[in-house]
Copies of this chain bind each other. A is one copy, B any other.
């Protein structure tokens, strides 16, 4: 039997056990600060499989030394990282498999058909917060590695399994792994890509623009200047900048994407009283960062646009709009298209599915940006589940998707790291 066949058989006969483990991980409501339970499960599992396991709580002091650090937390109590290392026999390239265990809150429970932390199985799907984003992907990576171990495969290169926290709130988990010295020749993150291969991932950064007006009583509104009207001008110019920035993106990966790096205006708030002219508007949004671009470059371009408003409307000379950068700050990630790991993953995909994989640029940020920009590791996103499910009520993942991904990953790992006895 070929390795492929043995891996396939192992997975086929282990499905019930893996699904039961998967349900247990879903039942751990691992929102930020509450990842300890699921991390103990991951650590135990890795140890049993023969990994050298490192589990530690993130240090605010250490993290804050990095310019990539971005978090609203001031401590990381209840949020330990788990890293399992499977030493290879030597002579092969190393690989990081990185996945986050933190999940976003379940939101309005009344919109869920079942308990969001039940892990209910129905019609070939597992339901629950975190099934798609991204405990399903983590499971696929775990199965891939365990299938290699159980089939007696000895890898040449090291595999580092990073089960991280804090992805949803700025990437401190992955940053802590980088700071702790974990590195490799390449990385795969099994975030939900619908089994598409994402060699490029959009970065993103949040902005806040404060626009000023002059207050007056509503009955003599002409004595004031409505900040909402000035805010609309800013809104308009942000969309102009979006056009300019996207015009530059010629990568065929983004061919079918109408706006590869959107600037979303997610909040527009002005005024507080119906009978008063608003003297302030707050505009908040998210600017997409192109793969290959730094966050700083994008920020400078945005700030220049805001400064240039004064040429359009002299109002902004006397009352300049102010820009702040807050909250989210995810660098973009990428892996060269001709990278050997890209080719191996695509080949293994084709052998499994019978057709070429779809390549795309992700429209959202991942920890891959940190791996790429802060650690210089080429990173690919490839995982089960669809993005559409993320962060919504009734999140689910298709079970077949997980096992299919696991099989492709197992063989790709074997190809990349090299094997001694196959």
Contacts and interface: CB of A to CB of B under 8 A. Distances in A.
A232 B232 CA distance: 8
Interface in A262-305: 262, 264-278, 281, 284-286, 288
A234 to B, nearest CB: 11
A226 B252 CA distance: 27
A364 interface: yes
Interface stretch (A182-190, A213-221, A378-386): A213-221
B266 A267 contact: no
Interface in A110-167: none
Contacts of A231: 268
Contact of A273 (B228, B266, B390): B266
B265 A206 contact: no
A266 B262 contact: no
A235 interface: yes
Interface residues of A, number: 47
B228 A364 contact: no
Nearest to A277: B264
B202 A262 contact: no
A275 B271 contact: no
B217 A363 contact: yes
A132 to B, nearest CB: 13
Q: Which among A202, A206, A217, A387 has the greatest number of chain B C-beta atoms within 10 A?
A: A217
B271 A265 contact: yes
B278 A273 contact: no
A328 interface: yes
Contact of A219 (B204, B207, B275): B204
Contacts of A259: 221-222
Interface in A239-270: 258-259, 262, 264-270
A204 B220 CA distance: 12
A327 B272 CA distance: 14
Nearest to A284: B274
A271 B278 contact: no
B274 A206 contact: yes
A165 B107 CA distance: 45
Contact of A266 (B207, B277, B391): B277
A372 to B, nearest CB: 17
A360 to B, nearest CB: 12
A219 B274 contact: no
B285 A364 contact: no
Contacts of A206: 274-275
A278 B267 CA distance: 7
A268 B363 contact: no
A215 B258 CA distance: 17
A232 B228 CA distance: 9
A269 B281 CA distance: 9
Contact of A363 (B220, B226, B270, B285): B220
Contacts of A327: 274
Contact of A288 (B202, B219, B288, B362): B219
Specify which of A218, A231, A258, A327 lies most central, judged by the most chain B CB atoms within 10 Å of its CB.
A218
Contact of A222 (B220, B262, B276): B262
A328 B269 contact: no
Given A222-B258, A232-B232, A363-B219, A270 B273 contact: no
Given A265-B271, A274-B286, 7 more contacts: A206-B274, A219-B364, A219-B365, A231-B268, A266-B271, A266-B277, A267-B270
A-B interface, 9 closest residue pairs, ranked by CB to CB distance from nearest: A218-B264, A219-B363, A267-B271, A218-B286, A266-B274, A219-B364, A221-B264, A275-B286, A206-B274
Interface of A: 202, 204, 206-207, 217-222, 226, 228, 231-232, 235, 258-259, 262, 264-278, 281, 284-286, 288, 327-328, 362-365, 387, 390-391
11 contacts: A217-B387, A217-B390, A219-B286, A219-B363, A266-B274, A266-B276, A266-B278, A267-B270, A267-B274, A274-B284, A274-B328
